[in-house]
Amino acid sequence: MARKTYDERQDEAHDRDRWIVSYADFITLLFAFFVVMYAMSSVNEGKYRDFSDALGTAFGVNPLARPDFGVVPPAPPAIGMKRRSSDLALRRDKEALTGIARDLQKLLAPLVRDGTVRVTQNGRGVVVEINASVLFAPGDARLTEQSGAALKAVAAILKDDNHEIQVEGHSDNIPINSPAFPSNWELSAVRAGTVVRLFINNGVAEQRLTAVGRGPNLPVASNDTPQGRARNRRVSVTIFSKLPDPATPVPIGPTSAK
């Protein structure tokens, strides 16, 4: 058997020891990985992002185009804060309107008991519905002395508030044709304007008020009976919520292609 030369023995020893180089590279990379993991656990997100971008640049990765694999950015705290702030504002607004509703209910208690006034609260705000017979003579838009005193007391409750107010006049479906009011539209609009004018004269800010004439178009009872027509002849005062309940979206089903 031929004896190996010194050079051949040196080459074999070199080949056997070559794995040490790969092992050393692996240990170095593993050490670098743990250093990065430690840095991620002890620095804030901003510092980590700077470090990550620098590392990506070193390896030829565009940091603007690179997704942050393994990094889940926390939800912006401002979103949660805005939601909580909105919920708190909505709750406070409802509480304020509930207080107004209670004050009006107490003020108008005799009329509420006999059914000529209704005070309700819903997602839009507070609604005070007053039968027209309490406020006006038939076919007239001038407030009676007694109703004027009651509405002044209502104005005293509303004047220090800042919610928007809409006054709506409503009528039955029996046509009216007089020199002053050619139709129920004019009668309902002028009645609403009369109430608005009284509110303004008693301290309610003009920019908060709106007068609307609805005529016979929004009945709350049947016009087939005298009682129903009397119910429909009314003035409603709505104190609007500043933050009405959010609308519920109506899902639209898929449409078939034609």
Q: What pLDDT shows up at residue 166?
A: 98
Q: How many other β-carbons are positioned within 10 Å of the β-carbon of residue 56? A: 16
How far is it, in rounded angstroms, from Cα 245 to Cα 95? 14
31 against 92, higher pLDDT: 92
- Is residue 242 very low, low, confident or very high in pLDDT (cuts 50, 70, 90)? confident
pTM: 0.64
Query: What does each C-alpha distance from 109 to 116, 201, 255 come to in angstroms?
Result: 10, 24, 53
- Pick the closest to residue 168 from 238, 98, 93, 71 (CA basis): 238
18 against 133, higher pLDDT: 133
How far is it, in rounded angstroms, from Cα 68 to Cα 49? 9
Digit-coded pLDDT (tens) for 43-56:
555 655 665 566 55
How high does pLDDT run on average in the chain? 81
- Is residue 79 very low, low, confident or very high in pLDDT (cuts 50, 70, 90)? low
Residue 250 has pLDDT above 90, yes or no: no
Domain boundaries in the chain? 8-58, 82-240
Query: What does each C-alpha distance from 9 to 3, 4, 5, 16 come to in angstroms?
Result: 10, 7, 6, 11
Q: How many other β-carbons are positioned within 10 Å of the β-carbon of residue 51? A: 14
Digit-coded pLDDT (tens) for 160-180:
999 999 999 999 999 998 999
Least confident residue range of 73-82, 149-158, 225-234: 73-82
Residue 14 has pLDDT above 60, yes or no: no
Given a contact cutoff of 8 angstroms between Cβ atoms, the answer to whether 127 and 237 are in contact is yes
CATH class as words, domain 82-240: alpha beta
How far is it, in rounded angstroms, from Cα 216 to Cα 173? 5
